[in-house]
């Protein structure tokens, strides 16, 4: 199984570069040697939640021939997303883009952390109760939770001011459900990995750039723009769930070992499938 995670495209009618970057990310996904079983987009699909921005988003997603699963971010419009994506998954929660994807070796659970009009997110009593029930019903299934706002303290004051309310209670749920193998999010536009309960939390940067912050100035947000990344989540019986950070670029695929022997000094390029 291969699931690709993209995040924070921020499609903006006034910023064609954002759409162009997302288009490049989609095309890159299509050239991966192993065809993904699904693509996750962890929020801030658009910058203003406008219908024309969602039109562009959907047109850019059209070339993908595998299921695409989205959750809203703080820049999105929940009503617009429910209208377009409310059919996704099963066991949906009324009024939220909460749902389950049950047809892969790893169970996927999408969580809607949006609070309309606010930069920060929340998992309220109702949303957490729904999640508790979904986790209880499939304790034997490895599970990946995906959402926009990450349940972490980054140490950067600006980002932590728009963090996730309910993080501690979510952590308690994850501790009670050790089959949660991964928790993934977006929002911070950085590649962060940390522990979360008995699980691992990872954040995916945006499709246009990765933020590398200057951690010596936590009260400010000083950063470098680095190349965009995706997260690749893979599962097999021998390995369990593994996650890779993956550059969204067009570097060639090189065969270093052909299954029997190491390549010679000058390895041969391996065309994408």
Instruction: Provide the pLDDT for residue 172.
Output: 97
Segment 183-212 shows an average pLDDT of 97
What pLDDT score does 251 carry?
86
Element (H, E) at 46: none
Q: Pairing between strand 143-146 and 107-110?
A: parallel
Are 182 and 203 spatial neighbours (Cβ–Cβ below 8 Å)? no
Written as six digits, the tokens of 188 are 């911070």
Stronger pLDDT, 270 or 219, i.e. the higher one: 219
DSSP bridge pairs for 179: none
pLDDT of the residue at 250: 84
Between CA 228 and CA 219, with CA 191 as vertex, the angle to 5 degrees is: 110
What average pLDDT does range 243-269 have in this prediction? Answer: 86
Q: Which two tokens stand for residue 251?
A: 């570097």
Q: Could you tell me what percent of the chain has a pLDDT over 90? A: 91
Tokens linked to 250: 């067009």
Residue 179: burial class (beta carbons within 10 Å; 0-12, 13-18, 19+): middle
- 25-39, 147-161, 195-209, 256-270, range with the lowest pLDDT: 256-270
Residue 96 backbone phi and psi in degrees, to 5: -135, 160
Q: What's the pTM value of the predicted model, to 2 decimals? A: 0.94
Average pLDDT, the chain: 95
Mean pLDDT of 7-11: 98
- State the pLDDT at residue 54: 98
Asked whether residue 238 carries a pLDDT value surpassing 70, the answer given is yes
Query: What CATH number is given for 2-270 in this structure?
Result: 3.60.21.10
pLDDT per position as a tens digit, 65-81: 999 999 999 999 999 99
List pLDDT tens digits, range 23-52: 999 999 999 999 999 999 999 999 999 999
Tokens (6 digits) for 125: 């009593």
**Which comes out higher in pLDDT, residue 249 or 6?**
6
DSSP structure class, residue 76: S
Domain layout of the chain by residue ranges: 2-270
Up-side HSE of residue 46: CA atoms within 13 Å toward CB? Answer: 20
HSE, side-chain direction, 13 A CA sphere, residue 114: 25
pLDDT tens per residue, range 84-130: 999 999 999 999 999 999 999 999 999 999 999 999 999 999 999 99
Instruction: Summarize pLDDT for 151-161 with one digit per residue, the tens.
Output: 999 999 999 99
Instruction: Assign 9 a pLDDT band (cuts: 50, 70, 90).
Output: very high
Model confidence at 268: pLDDT above 80: no
Structure tokens given for 115: 């609070």
């Amino acid at each position: 199984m291969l699931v690709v995670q993209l995040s924070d495209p921020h499609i903006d009618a006034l910023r064609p570069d954002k759409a162009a970057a997302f288009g490049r990310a989609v095309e890159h996904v299509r050239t991966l040697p192993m065809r993904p079983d699904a693509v996750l987009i962890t929020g801030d699909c658009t910058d203003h939640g406008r219908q024309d921005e969602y039109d562009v988003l959907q047109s850019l997603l059209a070339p993908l021939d595998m299921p695409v699963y989205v959750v809203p971010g703080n820049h999105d419009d929940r009503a617009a997303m429910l209208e377009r994506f409310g059919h996704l998954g099963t066991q949906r929660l009324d009024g939220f883009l909460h749902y389950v994807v049950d047809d892969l070796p790893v169970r996927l659970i999408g969580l809607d952390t949006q609070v309309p009009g606010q930069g920060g997110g929340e998992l309220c009593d109702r949303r957490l109760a729904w999640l508790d029930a979904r986790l209880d019903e499939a304790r034997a299934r490895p599970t990946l939770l995906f959402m926009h706002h990450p349940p972490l303290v980054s140490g950067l004051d600006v980002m932590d001011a728009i963090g996730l309310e309910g993080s501690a209670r979510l952590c308690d749920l994850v501790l009670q459900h050790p089959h949660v193998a991964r928790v993934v999010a977006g929002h911070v536009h950085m590649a962060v990995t940390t522990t979360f309960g008995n699980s691992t939390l990872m954040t995916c940067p945006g499709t246009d750039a990765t933020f590398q912050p200057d951690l010596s100035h936590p009260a400010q947000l000083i950063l470098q723009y680095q190349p965009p990344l995706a997260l690749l989540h893979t599962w097999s019986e021998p390995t369990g769930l593994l996650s890779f950070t993956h550059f969204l670029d067009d570097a060639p695929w090189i065969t270093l070992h052909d299954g029997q022997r190491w390549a010679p000094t000058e390895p041969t390029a391996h065309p994408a499938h």
